[in-house]
Amino acid sequence: MILDKHNPKELINNSTYSKELKAIATKVFNDERISFEEGVLLYKEAELGFLGTLANYVREKKNGNYVYFNHNFHVEPTNVCVYSCSFCSYSRLIKNRDQGWELSIEQIMDIIKKYDDKAVTEVHITGGVVPKQDLAFYTDLFREIKKHRPDLHIKALTPVEFHYIFKKAKLSYEDGLKLMTEAGLDSLPGGGAEIFDEAIRDKIAGGKCSTDEWLSIHEIWHNMGKYSNATMLYGHIETFEHRIDHMDRLRKLQDKTNGFNAFIPLKFRNKENEMSHVPEVSVIEDLRNYAISRIYLDNFPHIKAYWAMIGRNTAQLSLNFGTDDLDGTIDDTTKIYSMAGSEEQNPKLTTQELVDLIKTVGRTPVERDTLYNVVKEFAS
């Protein structure tokens, strides 16, 4: 059945939906929070049209017709890693380090300097974990970047890297994060979250920071008055209950700190990794997942469709299923997703391409900075 876009409450009078689904719709339209069990029910029973209508309602209430993007680029200091997550197509084990790259501070500064005459606002720095890239390496790097370009927002490292680096330096998370901030770190990206259920996490990402450690580092960071994102790796061996459990732990932390800006679902891509036998989920499932995350995470301001991972076409479609952010221009500076099999083998979009992509679905493009301050609104 085609629903009237302007009257989403039709869902409640529609006889094709069960009374349980209608009860969820009523809650959402009354701005009430849905429960864990209701979240799982949405995954198990709700079809895409129903989810899209609810998610779009929440999305437009929070962000109107706006779709955000930024001018950014990535630096991946190394693809060598002491860990061996089974979903990772990108890293090379430390014993095979001759097959990978490990950049020096000078080499990274050469990349940063390439953007001297470009209007980028953010550098996103993350990669593998190696002993050499330690506390001194990153604090020196952040100082160098800020000395060269004080206006560039440094969004860098995840609890996976922090946990390893601070343990090696015999520092508490609080003291370590304070030193990183003093050196120039501005925000944390959402990586390393994978899936919080301990048993699944152990199977696919054993050995790296635990769920509690991931959440604790973000909590400490938020308590320092800073902001971060959160991801969820979905579509592998997890169940729907595990996805809601993941979002539930984030929703609880956000209730305490209000420090998360965006939630970023990351679709498991299966090219050339130890989980290549696990099939990828469908685009319909991607859209359902975006929609349910928009409905469940009622205290997250933004849901990001990371186009370099999901592909620009699905990212564009998702703008009617709860998402309001597309990440940025990227400029072909990340390899994590192309190596894992994304349709975007050289991720790079110009401002005009992003603006056109957003306008095609009738939304209003807004260039933002990392903290969602408006840089420029593009009239629709």
Residue 81 CA: distances (Å) to CA of 131, 173, 320, 360: 9, 21, 38, 41
Q: How far is the CB of 304 from ligand V47 (least distance, A)?
A: 6
233 binds, among ligand SF4, ligand V47, none (CB under 5 to 8 A by kind): ligand V47
What does 231 interact with, of ligand V47, ligand SF4, none (CB < 5 to 8 A by kind)? Answer: ligand V47
How many angstroms separate the CA atoms of 295 and 287, rounded? 12
Residues 6+ apart with CB under 8 A from 347: 307, 308, 330, 332, 334, 337, 338
Report the alpha-carbon distance of residue 99 to residue 111 in Å, rounded: 21
Helix (H) or strand (E) holding 263: strand 260-267
Start-end of H helices in 114-239:
135-148, 159-168, 173-183, 198-205, 211-223
Residues 267, 268, 271, 277: is their CA dihedral positive or negative? negative
83 contact choice in ligand V47, ligand SF4, none (CB below 5 to 8 Å, kind-dependent): ligand SF4
- Does 263 bind ligand V47 (CB under 6 A)? Our answer is no
Q: How far is the CB of 14 from ligand SF4 (least distance, A)?
A: 43
Q: List residues near ligand SF4 by CB under 6 A.
A: 81, 83-85, 88, 90-91, 128-129, 160, 205, 208
C-beta of 63 vs 231, nearer to ligand SF4 = 231
Tokens of 158: 């995840």
Binding mask 279-318 for ligand V47 (x = CB under 6 A): ---------------------------x------------
196 binds ligand V47, rule: CB under 6 A = no
Q: Is the alpha carbon torsion for 364, 375, 314, 14 positive or negative?
A: negative
Q: Which of 191, 265, 347, 365 binds ligand V47 (CB under 6 A)?
A: 191
Task: Kindly state whether residue 233 participates in binding ligand V47, applying the rule CB under 6 A.
Answer: yes
Shortest distance, position 236 Cβ to ligand V47, whole Å: 8
Q: Check: CB of residue 338 under 8 Å from CB of residue 344.
A: yes
Regarding 244 and contact with ligand V47 (CB under 6 A), the answer is no
Could you tell me the smallest distance in angstroms from the CB atom of residue 274 to ligand V47?
10
Q: Rounded CA gap, 332 and 330, in Å?
A: 6
Question: 284 is written with which tokens?
Answer: 């319909």
Binders of ligand V47 among residues 98 to 157 (CB under 6 A) are none
CB of 9 to ligand V47, least distance (A): 34
Write down the least CB distance from residue 70 to ligand SF4, Å.
23
Q: Does 273 bind ligand V47 (CB under 6 A)?
A: yes
Give the binding range for ligand V47 (CB under 6 A) out of 37-45, 84-92, 129-137, 206-214.
Answer: 84-92
- With residue 75 as reference, give the H or E element that holds it: strand 72-75
Nearer to ligand V47, 34 or 319 (CB): 319
CA gap 43, 244 in Å, rounded: 9
Of these, 211, 231, 289, 338, which contacts ligand V47 (CB under 6 A)?
A: 231
265 scored as a contact of ligand V47 (CB under 6 A): no
Token pair recorded at residue 42:
């949405």
Q: How far apart are CA 171 and CA 188, in angstroms?
A: 19
CA distance 310 to 324: 15
DSSP lists the bridge partners of residue 302 as 262
Q: Tell whether residue 269 is a contact of ligand V47 (CB under 6 A).
A: yes
Q: What angle do CA 318, 279, 55 make, to 5 degrees?
A: 20
CB nearer to ligand V47: give 52 or 259: 259
Least distance (Å) from ligand V47 to the CB of residue 258?
17
Interaction site with ligand V47 (CB under 6 A):
87-89, 189-192, 194, 229, 231, 233, 264, 266, 268-269, 273, 306, 327, 336, 340
